[in-house]
Every structure is written in C-alpha cells, then in structure tokens.
Amino acid sequence: MKKVKASVMNAIHDLPLLVARDEGFFRDQGLDVEIVKTPGSGQRDSDHQALRANVFDRTMEALYDQGACDQFRMCEWGVMKRAVESNVAAGHRPAKIVALGSAMSSFAIVAAPKSRIYEPEQLKDRPIAVSPFNGSHFTTLKLLEGFLQREQIKTTFAGTMKERLEAVAKGEVAAASLMEPWISIAEKRGLRVLIESHSTRSEAAGDELDGPTLAKMFRAEAAAADAIQKNPERYARYLIDEAGGLLEVKDLKLERILNAPPEPYTRERFDRTYQWTLGWGLVPPGATYENTVDNRAWQ
C-alpha cells in the first residue's frame, strides 16, 4: 500500500477526501492515505491560526512546508497564491497546482434581517467580514465585482465563521461571507442571503508525489464525489459535526453539497485565474503556467 499524507481543513472543502478514506475508496486504489487534520475557519471551536495574513504561518501550509504532509487542497485562488508565492520566491517548499479539485464549496454573503440591506449594491463601501486570502475573501471579491466598482468593495477580517455571524448580529459589520454549514446556520437564525455561489477547490502537491499516485488519489476522490452526489444526506454528518451542535441535518440545504471528479488544470484556467488574482494585488508577478501547474496525474 502506497502511503500518502493529505491535509484537510473544513468539511465542505474536503468531503470527497474524508468519504474516500471512510468508504475505502483509497484502499481500493492501493493507497494508505493518512488524513492530517488542521484547523480552518469553519469549525465551531477553531482558533485564528488559519486566519493568519501570511499564508505560510497557517497550520496547514506550515505543516506542508515542514514536510509533514504531501498533498492539500484549498479554494482555487488560495492554491494559486500558495503555489505562485512558493515558486517565485525562495524560502518555502514549492507546491504545484495538480488538479482542479472535486469539491465545489458553497459561499454566501449574508446580512442581518434588520439591516435594511437587501441586495449586493447596498454593500457599497460597507465592511464585509471575510477570512484573509481564503475562499470567503476571494469569492466575495468575485461575487461583488459584478455589482460594484472594485474600490467600493470593502472587506474586513472578523475572525472565524462563528465570530463573523456574531459580528453581523451585533452590527459590527454590514455583512459576512460564509460557507456551509454556516450558511445554513445563518438562515436558521433568520439572516438574509444576498448572493451565493459555488467555489471550486484546487489540488496542490510537491514534486515528490508522483503522477500515478496522484491519479489513484483522484480516482478515489471521483468515486467519493459520485457517492456523495447520489446520497448527500448520508454524508451530511461531517458538516453537522463541524457546526458543533448548532445545526441538525434537517436544517442543512443538501443541494449546496456539490462535488465532481478532479480534472486537469488547463492553461486557459490558469491564465484567467492568475491574471485576476494579480489584478487585485493578491499574488506577485512572475508566475507562469509551466512553473505553477503540473497535470502529471493525467500524463
């Protein structure tokens, strides 16, 4: 059995990995995958380690830097930032984008019911709580630039998903960007969803993890994605556990759980995503498709 260490954070991002482990799909591919769990912003009892502005100070990235895990996934733009910065600057373990990932995580911008905010345009120049350089941050920019000028979009860092909900309720921020299960928690509490979208994960790995092994991992994740889509209620417990008693399965919108097989990360996708992150000043210049992407699982 080939041994691989893969890190996970929030369940909505990593559900295919967890299901592939627990249903034996990795084992069916001849893999012994160890899950290295790291804190994210979505666990009810999470700390702020995953919210460090320097991505290399966060638990997951630090563990990868130290060689404690072989492979990880985050939002597409977060993996882009991590891969670009590790490849254009010295001092960190390089990571390559090795796939467009299997989880399409739901994100939504929510406002308090008494806020008199009913549409995205009303967030002009008003603080929106996000996680720095995480999916909630990038997705908020993506969602709102269709409604506002870039300089009118004001994000602020207000802690974990739980803390962001509290900040909205107290009127400390106009709105907050949340992912599941926290969107469903917000709806249960009567908050208003202004806009939402799915956000695709990307997969990253170092050069040490060979193509055939990655291909086996992705086949297992594809089998898991198929199982989840056929019966999302069966796997909702992973998200419910993360909410720590704030949600029941009946409160969770199962249609927000969306997964698909991993696929190659194309040059067109790289060019569009890199130029977008570069345009926002979120990544340094100098990256290329050749030094950032490696689709070796399909070669």
135 or 45: which carries more pLDDT confidence? Answer: 135
157-161, 195-199, 219-223: which is most confident: 219-223
Beta-carbon contacts of 91 under 8 Å, excluding residues fewer than 6 positions away, are none
- Taking residues 277-281, report their average pLDDT: 94
Tokens of 201: 């994960």
The pLDDT of residue 71: 92
Q: What is the mean pLDDT of the chain?
A: 91
For residue 173, pLDDT beyond 60: yes
Reported as a pLDDT band with limits 50, 70 and 90, residue 295 is: very high
Summarised one tens digit per residue, pLDDT across range 89-125 is 778 888 999 999 998 989 999 999 999 999 999 999 9
For residue 55, pLDDT beyond 90: no
Strand partners, 36: 7
Tokens of 5: 């260490």
Closest CA relative to residue 222, chosen from 2, 12, 10, 23: 23
Cα-to-chain-centroid distance, residue 173:
22
Strands 96-111 and 258-259, sheet pairing = antiparallel
Reported as a pLDDT band with limits 50, 70 and 90, residue 203 is: very high
For residue 197, pLDDT beyond 90: yes
Cα 159 to Cα 168: distance, rounded to the nearest angstrom = 12
C-alpha distances in Å from residue 6, one per residue of 19, 45, 198, 268 = 13, 22, 23, 27
For residue 160, pLDDT beyond 60: yes
130 close to 53: Cβ distance less than 8 angstroms: no
